[in-house]
Structure 1
């Protein structure tokens, strides 16, 4: 009889151990597959959100021996709006509108002529800072640029470095463009960005 109890106790101990192990595996498995959790901003070193205004001049050179923008895809038809054109650029962002003005950042990205009705570009670009406390940080802009409107607006959709979690908008105003001479242009960017 004592032998039967010890065997029963042995089996109960095994069943209890297996049940406990299975429960532990389920708990660990649930933790391993968690894809979302709330976090305290301070854990990432983020403090108070602030609004910063930048004014810079976007200098695009298409013609000449050292262009800052090149055509990747030519339009496949004779569209008046250049529908289908795709251009990659690495443009200077300067303090003033003069080509000799201080270089602050580089605008690196691309645009495509995305409208059959008017000259409207789909633009995606990073403003990569190379000066001051923002050196090494980027602001990412994207949106619709209706080129011949007096003022256009792009969205700030993010950034890196000092601009992590950035959001805001940019107002664009063309200061120099004469298509009868060259497609080169200078565009004033006023960027309003919320960041930490």
Structure 2
């Protein structure tokens, strides 16, 4: 073999070996993977607020950007982005501003289903939400009822935010498999 062809052959061999090694370390695709797309209807002010701060660091403002502020959440979960669409449950839990610069929020959220198909079941979501990013990925760590042993990930995407009413619509895409 001529030197350039020998070099090309060795490069291809090395590249294919690296690709094989990387692929062999990835988990295999899940055959029983399911994806649910739901919408959180979030209201942060007024008498019908569904998310509110309950405690923070003494002497500091309690806000989404203030380290140490803890919020409770009870958002309606709907099947479409319209606040008037069919409700399938509630997103209930806590949000804790967990980074000194206020960029990250630790989320512990239960999606508690109330519709006929999944009534009494829940999906448990946990992780760090990088709240200044539109795409935020968290872990699905468990579930109950029809979601028992669920494992996967959840993506939160803010579809709209109205500062004058402090209302947000957040698309929640849950991808999970059950063992």
Q: Report the TM-score range of the alignment, normalised by the length of the smaller protein.
A: 0.7 to 0.9
Deviation per residue, 1:104-153 (Å, 9 max, x gap): 11101010111112421100011011113211100000011111212110
Residue matched to 2:68? 84
Contact 1:114/1:121 (CA < 8 Å) preserved in 2? yes
Tell whether 2:48 aligns with 1:59: no
Gaps of 5+ in 2: 1-30
Pairing of 1:25-64 with structure 2 (within 5 A) = 50-64=32-46
Tell whether 2:75 aligns with 1:72: no
Contact 2:66/2:101 (CA < 8 Å) preserved in 1? no
Tell whether 2:175 aligns with 1:192: yes
Q: Partners of 2:93 and 2:69 in 1: how far apart?
A: 14
RMSD of equivalent CA atoms: 2.1
Deviation at 1:95, TM superposition (A): 0.9
Q: Partners of 1:86 and 1:131 in 2: how far apart?
A: 29
SS at structure 2 position matched to 1:162: helix
SS at structure 2 position matched to 1:115: coil
Q: Partners of 2:64 and 2:140 in 1: how far apart?
A: 30
Residue matched to 1:130? 114
Moved over 4 A (4+): none
- How many residue pairs get matched? 148
TM, length-normalised to structure 2: 0.75
Looking at CA atoms only, which structure, 1 or 2, has the larger radius of gyration? 1
Gaps of 5+ in 1: 1-48
Q: Partners of 2:143 and 2:72 in 1: how far apart?
A: 20
Q: Partners of 1:193 and 1:67 in 2: how far apart?
A: 30
Deviation at 1:182, TM superposition (A): 4.2
Deviation at 1:74, TM superposition (A): 3.3
